[in-house]
Structure 1
């Protein structure tokens, strides 16, 4: 094995979690390679949001997040089924910063490169390389179509909601992910001076005459700046699987509902008058639960961020929590690297997992899943109908404020 084919950290995926892991590992003095299947890091255009945390200054540079944000709301706005009740304004406690994804990603790649991180683009990871069920590296197809190997002490699977590494180790992503339509548009019917906060619309089971068995969902609008918005529809699958009145839709049925919501759902449809579509796709994202095991097999590979379902379930935001998780695991592994080797004994694997589950970031995310589970059970299953949700709207908004 050539020296250049071995790295202390192999990172699969160049999103915010993967890039954070790369930056932290390189700052800790370790050799790092990032494998990304796209031509560039984070190739898909979209809007994003993040609240401020000290980690962001540490990774991105002091004040960087604030500098790229065009919209900085401090609350969320919730709309009842049919937009019948007065809107609920939920204070988020800290301003959120809305920005364009590509700007952030390009900045992080530049930082990583400045710290000596190696990037391999147009490289699709096929599977782990194992020895005694310990991941020792990965096989990948390079930009010329050739299958190659790269070896390391640890593989961090930062490759998203359908992780190749996670899937190889039989992670059931159907229990972790929710279908979501993602939309990016310009020339929206919006006055950013009057509407700068994220808007959420409850679409409960039974409220749509044209799709009475559609799962409970939440449609949303995120103003990014000017006339530009990110929008979408997330199906709440944790609740849906346990409802007799729900029929799980296929892709065509989901997109048909999405088109109807854009054209006719009260309040929501107004934003789409005259809009120019820049991106529109049905995909998935974690929001139904965490993985059971973060360390895969007998060690060597660790799920990070979306690949582990590690998001704030209350806000469905994975960026910061994936970044913080990446920092935590890289620092934890770095402490125990001896002579550029890591011992993946059962004792060490238990120690790593125990330390992570004791961390504040794990407890925050785990609690968010528990709270949102209770909330969705009450709203979408117990109350279920639009009439009942509207009747208890003030109480529901009070609960949301308490949970935020």
Structure 2
């Protein structure tokens, strides 16, 4: 399916494509196509600021906060052209795509003035404090505690799988603020400075040797009383609103990245002759069909009137893309054969694919495992009885 873009929108496409190509073949050629999130951190931060200088960082935001008031169509176009040009994964993805939209939707004017400029201009990098050792897919089981002391919140507890925490400046934290509360009740959504006593970050090494994830510990860490989004005890509503933003326009850019990976697999198959193998051809065709179906689903999500609500398309999207990409990694390895055992080397043409295979194993785990995603679809989407969870 091809979107019916207007002449003005196609002119916008040409504008952003030309700028991206000039930058990623010029000053930032060294990070063009850079995989992952954990390498060349300082250059990624430089890139964030270059995007901001030219008002490409948060184009969907209001102009007063550094955006362009871009329409949904324009945001889709930019996301696609960004991936097509080989733009690196955004160092401030969590700030731009999650924290910022949440503050815009739920924050006060004072909070917007405090946080949005730094996110937009790339000088304030964010991470997400949701998952805990006993509250991963079951987010409502959060045990990190927050108590109000005078004009400050005091936070104690642990978060885990905190992507990018090792170079982030701020974190948004879901903490239990009402003693004795259970499940989604009694949670508060706080914004906290990472550069303070009482915050410790410990990297977690991944299967591919990288350390993008972290454990984050809070020991009497503090933030001002007005750093909460919403009201005390209202954190679950805000947290769920944030997850709706995660299924937004950036999904189209994510899919363009998938397009690049699938095209690399096809190119490898043509190089080694496996494009003539009937089974490989069938699997490539299946991957192509899956990618197109994801695009249609993403367009359905974007057509939803309320971007802060999770509809049926959004409920199914995580398990859809995670399973697809896991299978894509396995296809890549079968196409590469022994060449898939090499994941490093400047002269190695297919180095990104083994890394994609290794990292792709986590896609079906983080952000809610496939098993939990099926529960969510059943309970929230289909209205089936809740799975027994016991007394927590």
- Fold shared, TM-score > 0.5 on shorter chain: no
Structure richer in strand, relative to its length: 1
TM (normalized to structure 2)?
0.31
TM normalised by structure 1 equals 0.30
